[in-house]
């Protein structure tokens, strides 16, 4: 008896991903690279840029404390939205106490944000991205000594970077350190830090 025939992809080849990423060769703690080796959002001064905002961009924008340069970049960008970031925002809304004075404003802000996302502008991780992100996060958890909470955050950030990479888009983030480490292990993806 076939319950569902919706699956159209094979499961990811973990052996191939292990050969590609070589977690067994990563025995030392990684260091973040110097700023001049990374791409600063301040370099994106002209023209329209397609990008994926990281969760911290939405949160800082809602709080009104994005740097002016980042706000200007967002104003002229073609934004795609990662389902992982949207999920992180939904967790924040769900965790916000409905008894708090700011609850209606927070709820209304994020429901309006989600409603304004155009159809076709959400990118989501597929099975291969999930598996690759898990391998990257596990490798970093071991080499960097991440605790359980940091490992979960690293997995989410790896999902965001790798999902954007698969779509050919950079991620705009304030989280330079973790995205740098993820990029070093994954060997792919681009991020713009601010």
> What rounded mean pLDDT belongs to the chain?
93
- Distance (Å, rounded) from C-alpha 87 to C-alpha 176? 21
Residue 2 confidence (pLDDT) = 47
Pair 123, 163: CB distance under 8 Å? yes
Residue 86 confidence (pLDDT) = 98
Q: In what order do the strands lie in the sheet with 171-173?
A: 39-40, 191-193, 171-173, 49-53, 77-79
> Other C-beta atoms within 10 Å of 1: how many?
2
What pLDDT digit, counting tens, does each position of 43-60 carry?
A: 888 889 999 999 999 999
Q: Is residue 83's pLDDT more than 70?
A: yes
By DSSP bridging, strand 191-193 and strand 77-79 are: unpaired
Q: Which domains does the chain have, with CATH numbers?
A: 34-193 (3.40.50.1010)
Q: How many CA atoms lie less than 13 Å away from 8 in the CB half-sphere?
A: 1
| 6 Cβ neighbours under 8 A, 6+ residues apart | none
Q: Which helix (H) or strand (E) holds 177?
A: helix 176-186
pTM to 2 decimal places? 0.90
Residue 11 confidence (pLDDT) = 84
Pair 164, 123: CB distance under 8 Å? yes
């Amino acid at each position: 008896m076939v319950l569902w025939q919706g699956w159209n992809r094979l499961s990811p080849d973990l052996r191939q991903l292990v050969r590609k990423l070589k977690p067994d060769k990563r025995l030392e703690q990684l260091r973040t690279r110097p700023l001049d080796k990374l791409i600063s959002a301040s370099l994106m001064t002209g023209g329209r840029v397609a990008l994926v905002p990281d969760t911290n961009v939405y949160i800082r924008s809602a709080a009104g404390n994005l740097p002016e340069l980042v706000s200007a970049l967002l104003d002229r960008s073609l934004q795609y939205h990662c389902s992982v970031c949207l999920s992180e925002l939904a967790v924040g809304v769900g965790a916000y106490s409905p008894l708090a004075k700011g609850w209606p404003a927070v709820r209304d802000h994020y429901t309006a944000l989600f409603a304004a996302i155009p159809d076709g502008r959400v990118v989501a991780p597929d099975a291969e991205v999930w598996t690759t992100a898990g391998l990257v996060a596990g490798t970093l958890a071991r080499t960097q000594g991440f605790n359980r909470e940091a490992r979960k955050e690293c997995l989410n950030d790896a999902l965001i970077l790798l999902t954007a990479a698969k779509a050919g888009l950079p991620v705009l983030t304030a989280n330079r350190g973790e995205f740098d480490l993820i990029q070093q292990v994954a060997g792919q993806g681009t991020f713009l830090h601010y």
